[in-house]
Amino acid sequence: MTITWGPKLDRDGKEIPGCFISDSGYTVASAYVPEPRFTLTRPGGSAPFAYTDRKGDVNRLVRADLQAAGEVKA
């Protein structure tokens, strides 16, 4: 399963810096507090369900969440 990411847009259609949305609706925001961190929010969610300091973990965490929800096969 390939996850495609694009820039997340605000209400006015402007890109939100450091924020991305997947083709399945997951949002990832990057922050530096003081080290790089990525927060992942489910489609329609208002709070992150996962945090990671590794960019490479983002797709793995989204796939695992989709599998747990029964939306994709393992």
What confidence tens digit (pLDDT) does each residue in 37-63 have?
999 999 999 999 999 999 999 999 999
Q: Residue 4: pLDDT band by 50, 70, 90 thresholds?
A: very high
In the beta sheet, which residues pair with residue 38? 30, 52
With a CB cutoff of 8 Å and minimum separation 6, the contacts of 47 are 41
Residue 35, pLDDT score: 86
- Is the predicted pLDDT of residue 74 greater than 70, yes or no? no
pLDDT in tens, 17-29: 999 999 999 999 9
Domain residue limits, the chain: 5-68
